[in-house]
């Protein structure tokens, strides 16, 4: 029997099985990665691995994971941040891996239960539709019923229309109403769970992983018996894990829980058929109390900060606790109705609705108490017609809260991404997650950046903290776009500046035949990217979400312009509390947190340019602090070496050497 190392050699070597695939090119880094993953899995140890774009990292972890899981009868969980990558793994890479490993195996994408239709709840909702839904909603319900006859998986994503929340929440699988003993084998969610239990590879997203992980108490595994986990797109782990473990309750959620019982406005809900006015009045009272409570929260936030939409709360009971009593009264009343209810299904719905009210009550109470000093508490106000108010909590230190449970002995956590290191080291990432026992490895890039990329630094641009910056920046951006005749992705850190520059340049660019696409909230990110790819002379102005995940190989993107180094403003409560924690531990919040975070984001932005061996182009950085400040060196030394030009006061460029520039 061949060892895992033999298999890797047979597949990833220059003449290996992989080399027979069309368009395949041998990359030593890919083999190195496959060997490192194999060794971590065999040694049941943890690994952090930076695999630059072009290495072919999906196959380099999938193949060893499958070989190991099949041989040892274990289960591989592959967790990603984006749905795009999940789809790519499932539809393309898993199939290639299948053709390489010589074993048959089963792989599934696993989603949270609320994605699946519950046929028992659907039947119940159909029976009670006059009581639960208005005419439009009832129409949706009938379309869901038709679909339920033909769907194979009951996954809401495959429903031919997007259902309203009020309808879907009434028919999706839900923890409190779920009983496979009653429903028998024809349940979409139970089927998905069964398939996940039987599968060798289970693909899911980070958010679901950490939500399920937070509910698990098992010492020796994560989610399934004898599993191991590979996190791709691991750069988002700290933020997703924090929010996954944290808790949140909003005005809309509490109102939803109350309205599920009875909505005084629509006169629909589980209690609508009950003759007793008392129960309906308790729902109306709970609704009024919910609105009054969250309005008080909103006013307290506004009193402390007029403009901010997020506010950290440091004082227990910063508003009076007026919600518990009406919610408790409502729960007691539901309990009475529940006892009298003859139908098992209707009873289950009442139990589930009561549970939701109880959870809301507990979360509000926990938020107001602020009894856990390891958590950060904050309020978030959302804009729009219905101004929602969220009460959020999350662990200040993800490392302290998850590391002991996540990086356990006897199994493996493999974390990979194209962008994890700062200044050539993975220490920052390792320390943020508390993965001190993990082996670290940074692979070389397969691209020739000396030939493929040029770096242009705006030496003469006024720095962003200079009042002249705002007036000057449109001209510098215009000059930069002209250098590549469009084909540019311009990355901003502020929507105000993005709009201002777009207004000032639109006419000039369009008169030169360069179409300007702007992330202004009117067109979806997906549509903007589609237009940008199709019109190769266009220019795209993007904010936060365009710094990562944009993959435009070829001539449509030959220039990335970075308007400002992406330092996060410490106005988010979690960022603020994490910085305070570092200071309390005698660290330097700027050097130990703000700077490395900005460098990682900067690297993501730079990484948008070269996506394949045939791509060429330039990166222009219009934030002159990269040259004038000491920390600029950390940014420069964190990106691939390539020829450098400096932009002088007249916009003309002259060449410089990386060492010379980094030493300025
Ligand atoms: S087992 Fe749960 S999800 Fe499945 S049909 Fe029954 S109640 Fe619905």
Lowest mean pLDDT among 156-160, 625-629, 656-660: 656-660
Distance 91 CA to ligand 1 centre (A): 28
In 512-594, alpha helices (H) = 525-534, 573-584, 589
Distance CA 161, CA 348 (A): 28
pLDDT at 603 over 80: yes
- Shared domain check, 260 and 170: no
pLDDT at residue number 520? 86
Ligand 1: does its nearest atom lie under 6 Å from the Cβ of 561? no
Cβ(70) – ligand 1 distance below 6 Å: no
User: What are the tens digits of pLDDT across the range 89-133?
Assistant: 999 999 999 999 988 899 999 999 999 999 988 988 898 888 888
Q: Has residue 407 got a pLDDT over 70?
A: yes
Q: How confident is the model at residue 352 (pLDDT cuts 50, 70, 90)?
A: confident
Respond yes or no on whether ipTM tops 0.95.
Answer: yes
3-state secondary structure 488-508: EEEECCCHHHHHHHHHHHHHH
CA of 121 to the centre of ligand 1 (A): 8
Ligand 1 centroid, distance to 184 Cα (angstroms): 8
Contact in structure between 643 and 653 (CB atoms under 8 Å): no
Nearest in space to 639 (alpha carbons), one of 664, 663, 609, 606:
606
337: Cα within 13 Å, side-chain hemisphere: 27
Tell me: do 621 and 522 sit in the same domain. Answer: yes
**Inside any domain, residue 10:** yes
The rounded Å distance from CA 183 to ligand 1 centre is: 6
Ranges 165-174, 496-505, 590-599: which has the least confidence: 165-174
Mutate to test the pocket of ligand 1, among 190, 193, 195, 352 (most ligand atoms within 8 A of CB): 190
Q: Ligand 1: distance of its center to the CA of 155 in Å?
A: 13
Task: Find the 277 Cα to ligand 1 centroid distance in Å.
Answer: 32
Say if ligand 1 is within 6 A of residue 255 CB.
no
Residues 123 and 220 reside in one and the same domain: no
108-122, 205-219, 376-390: segment of lowest average pLDDT? 376-390
Residue 385 has pLDDT above 70, yes or no: no
pLDDT band per the 50, 70, 90 thresholds, residue 166: confident
181/316 same-domain check: no
DSSP string, 596-632: HHHHHHHHHHHTTS--STT--EEEEE--THHHHSTTH
N- to C-terminal Cα separation, the chain: 58
Confirm whether 232 is domain-assigned.
no
Whether the CB of 183 sits within 6 Å of ligand 1: yes
Q: For residue 520, how far is its CA from the centre of ligand 1 (angstroms)?
A: 42
Instruction: Identify whether residues 427 and 499 lie together within a single domain.
Output: no
pLDDT at 453 (0 to 100): 97
Q: Which residue carries 């996190």 as its tokens?
A: 231
Q: Are residues 168 and 54 in the same domain?
A: no
One domain for residues 518 and 658 = yes
Domain-located, residue 72: yes
Tell whether 544 and 567 lie within a shared domain: yes
Domain that holds residue 635: 449-662
Q: Report how far ligand 1's centroid is from the alpha carbon of 533 (Å).
A: 44
Question: Between residues 382 and 532, which one has the greater pLDDT?
Answer: 532
Is 404 a member of any domain? no
Ligand 1 probe mutation, 126, 151, 175, 187, most atoms within 8 A of CB: 187
pLDDT at 617: 96
Residue 413 has pLDDT above 90, yes or no: yes
Let me know whether 434 and 458 are in one domain: no
Measured from the CB, is residue 190 less than 6 Å from ligand 1? Answer: yes
pLDDT of 579 > 70? The answer is yes
Same domain, 533 and 560: yes
Atom of ligand 1 nearest to the CA of 174: 3
Residue with the smallest CA separation from ligand 1 atom 1 is 180
Does a structural domain hold residue 383? yes
Mutational pocket test of ligand 1: of 119, 172, 349, the residue with most ligand atoms within 8 Å of the beta carbon = 119
635 in helix, strand or coil?
Answer: helix
- Provide the CATH number for the domain around residue 85: 3.40.50.300
pLDDT at 347: 86
More confident: 660 or 223: 223
Across 567-573, average pLDDT: 85
Q: What is the pLDDT of residue 245?
A: 86
pLDDT category, 177, cuts 50, 70, 90?
Answer: low
User: Is residue 453 domain-shared with residue 557, that is, in the same domain?
Assistant: yes
Cα(537) to centroid(ligand 1), Å: 52
Query: Helix 4-12 to helix 28-42 angle, to the nearest 10 degrees?
Result: 160
pLDDT of amino acid 345: 76
Q: Which of 120, 176, 345, 347 to mutate to test the pocket of ligand 1 (most atoms within 8 A of CB)?
A: 120
Query: Is any ligand 1 atom within 6 A of the Cβ of residue 125?
Result: no
Percent of the chain whose predicted confidence (pLDDT) is above 90: 75
Summarised one tens digit per residue, pLDDT across range 257-276 is: 899 899 998 888 889 888 77
Classify residue 17 as left (phi > 0), alpha (psi -120 to 50) or beta: alpha
Q: State the pLDDT at residue 384.
A: 61
Res. 500: pLDDT tops 50:
yes
pLDDT exceeds cutoff 70 at 181: no
What is the spatial distance between Cα 396 and Cα 241, in angstroms, rounded to a whole number?
A: 11
The arithmetic mean of pLDDT across residues 278-302, rounded, is 94
Atom of ligand 1 nearest to the CA of 118: 8
Give how many domains the chain has, as a whole number.
Answer: 4
DSSP state of 586: T
**How far is ligand 1, taken at its centre, from the CA of residue 169, in Å?**
14
Q: Which of 64-68, 155-159, 288-292, 379-383 has the lowest mean pLDDT?
A: 379-383
C-alpha 178 to ligand 1 mean position (Å): 5
pLDDT value of position 658: 63
Given a cut of 60, whether residue 663 has pLDDT beyond it is no
Segment 409-431 mean pLDDT: 96
The structure tokens listed for 592 are: 């130990």
Q: Which residues pair with 172 in a beta bridge?
A: 117
pLDDT at 664 (0 to 100): 43
| C-beta 461 within 6 A of ligand 1 | no
Of the listed ranges 65-69, 240-244, 567-571, the least confidently predicted one is 567-571
pLDDT (average), residues 562-591: 93
124 lines ligand 1 (CB under 6 A): no
Per residue in 441-487, pLDDT tens?
A: 999 999 999 999 999 999 999 999 999 999 999 999 999 999 999 99
Q: Is residue 304 part of a domain?
A: yes
Give me the pLDDT at residue 553, please.
84
Residues whose CB is less than 8 angstroms from the CB of residue 13 and which lie 6 or more positions away in sequence, other chains included: 19, 26, 31
Is ligand 1 within 6 A of the CB of residue 118?
Answer: yes
Rounded to the nearest integer, the mean pLDDT of the chain is 91
Nearest residue (CA) to ligand 1, atom 2: 178
Question: How far away, in angstroms, is 639 Cα from ligand 1 center?
Answer: 51
Same domain, 612 and 591: yes
Decide if 532 contacts 544 (C-beta within 8 A). no
What's the CA-to-centroid distance between 81 and ligand 1, angstroms? 28
- Residue 485 has phi, psi (to 5 degrees) of 50, 60
- Nearest residue (by CA) to ligand 1, atom 7, is 178
Does residue 180 have a pLDDT over 80?
Answer: no
| 189 within ligand 1 shell (Cβ under 6 A) | yes
- In a domain, residue 375? The reply is yes
| Host H or E run for residue 62 | helix 57-72
Q: What is the whole-number distance in angstroms between the Cα of residue 182 and the centre of ligand 1?
A: 8
CA distance 63 to 93: 9
47 inside domain: yes
* 177, 184, 186, 351, best to mutate for ligand 1 pocket (most atoms within 8 Å of CB): 177
% pLDDT > 70, the chain: 96
The predicted pLDDT at position 145 comes to 96
């Amino acid at each position: 029997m061949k060892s895992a190392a033999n298999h890797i050699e047979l597949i990833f070597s220059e003449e290996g099985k992989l080399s027979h695939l069309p368009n395949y090119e041998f990359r030593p880094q890919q083999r190195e990665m496959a060997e490192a993953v194999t060794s971590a899995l065999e040694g049941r140890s943890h690994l952090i691995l930076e695999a630059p774009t072009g290495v072919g990292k999906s196959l380099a972890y999938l193949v060893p994971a499958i070989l190991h899981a099949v041989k040892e009868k274990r289960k591989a969980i592959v967790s990603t941040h984006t749905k795009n990558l999940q789809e790519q793994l499932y539809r393309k890479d898993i199939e290639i891996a299948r053709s390489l490993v010589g074993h048959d195996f089963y792989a599934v994408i696993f989603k949270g239960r609320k994605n699946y239709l519950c046929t028992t709840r659907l039947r119940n909702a159909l029976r009670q539709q006059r009581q639960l839904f208005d005419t439009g909603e009832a129409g949706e319900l009938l379309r869901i019923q038709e679909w339920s006859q033909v769907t194979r998986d009951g996954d809401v994503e495959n429903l031919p229309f997007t259902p309203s929340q009020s309808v879907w929440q009434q028919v999706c699988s839900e923890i409190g109403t779920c009983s496979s003993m009653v429903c028998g084998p024809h349940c979409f969610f139970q089927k998905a769970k069964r398939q996940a239990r039987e599968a060798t590879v289970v693909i899911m997203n980070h958010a679901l992983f950490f939500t399920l992980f937070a509910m698990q108490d098992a010492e020796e595994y994560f989610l399934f018996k004898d599993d191991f986990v590979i996190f791709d797109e691991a750069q988002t782990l700290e933020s997703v894990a924090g929010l996954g473990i944290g808790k949140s309750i909003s005005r809309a959620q509490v109102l939803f829980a109350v309205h599920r019982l009875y909505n005084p406005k629509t006169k629909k809900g589980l209690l609508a058929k009950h003759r007793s006015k008392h129960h309906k009045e308790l729902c109306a009272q709970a609704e009024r109390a919910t609105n009054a409570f969250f309005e008080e929260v909103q006013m307290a936030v506004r009193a402390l900060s007029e403009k901010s939409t997020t506010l950290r709360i440091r004082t227990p009971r910063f508003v009076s606790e007026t919600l518990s009593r009406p919610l408790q009264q409502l729960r007691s009343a539901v309990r009475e109705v529940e006892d009298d209810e003859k139908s098992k299904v209707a009873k289950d719905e009442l139990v589930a609705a009561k549970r939701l009210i109880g959870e809301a009550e507990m979360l509000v109470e926990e938020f107001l108490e602020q009894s856990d000093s390891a958590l950060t508490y904050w309020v978030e106000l959302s804009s729009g017609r219905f101004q929602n108010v969220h009460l959020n909590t999350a662990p200040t230190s993800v490392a302290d809260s998850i590391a002991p449970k996540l990086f356990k002995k006897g199994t493996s956590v493999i974390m990979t991404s194209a962008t994890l290191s700062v200044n050539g080291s993975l220490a920052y990432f390792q320390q943020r997650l508390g993965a001190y026992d993990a082996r670290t490895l940074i692979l070389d890039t397969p691209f020739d950046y000396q030939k493929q990329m040029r770096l242009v630094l705006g030496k003469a641009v006024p720095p962003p903290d200079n009042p002249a910056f705002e007036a000057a920046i449109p001209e510098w951006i215009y000059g930069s776009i002209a250098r590549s005749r469009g084909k540019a992705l311009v990355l901003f850190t502020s929507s105000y500046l993005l709009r201002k520059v777009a207004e000032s340049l639109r006419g000039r660019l369009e008169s030169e035949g360069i179409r300007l696409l702007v992330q202004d909230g009117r067109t979806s990110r997906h549509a903007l990217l589609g237009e940008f790819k199709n019109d190769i002379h266009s220019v795209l102005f993007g904010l936060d979400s365009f710094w990562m995940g944009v993959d435009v190989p070829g001539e449509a993107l030959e220039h990335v312009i970075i308007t400002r180094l992406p330092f996060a403003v410490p106005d988010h409560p979690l960022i603020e509390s994490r910085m305070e924690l570092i200071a309390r531990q005698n660290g330097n919040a700027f050097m130990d947190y703000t700077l490395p975070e900005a460098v990682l984001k900067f690297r993501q932005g730079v990484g948008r340019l070269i996506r394949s061996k045939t791509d060429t182009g330039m990166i222009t950085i219009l934030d002159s602090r990269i040259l004038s400040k000491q920390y600029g060196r950390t940014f420069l030394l964190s990106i691939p070496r390539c020829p450098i030009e400096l932009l002088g006061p007249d916009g003309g460029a002259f060449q410089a050497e990386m060492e010379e520039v980094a030493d300025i």
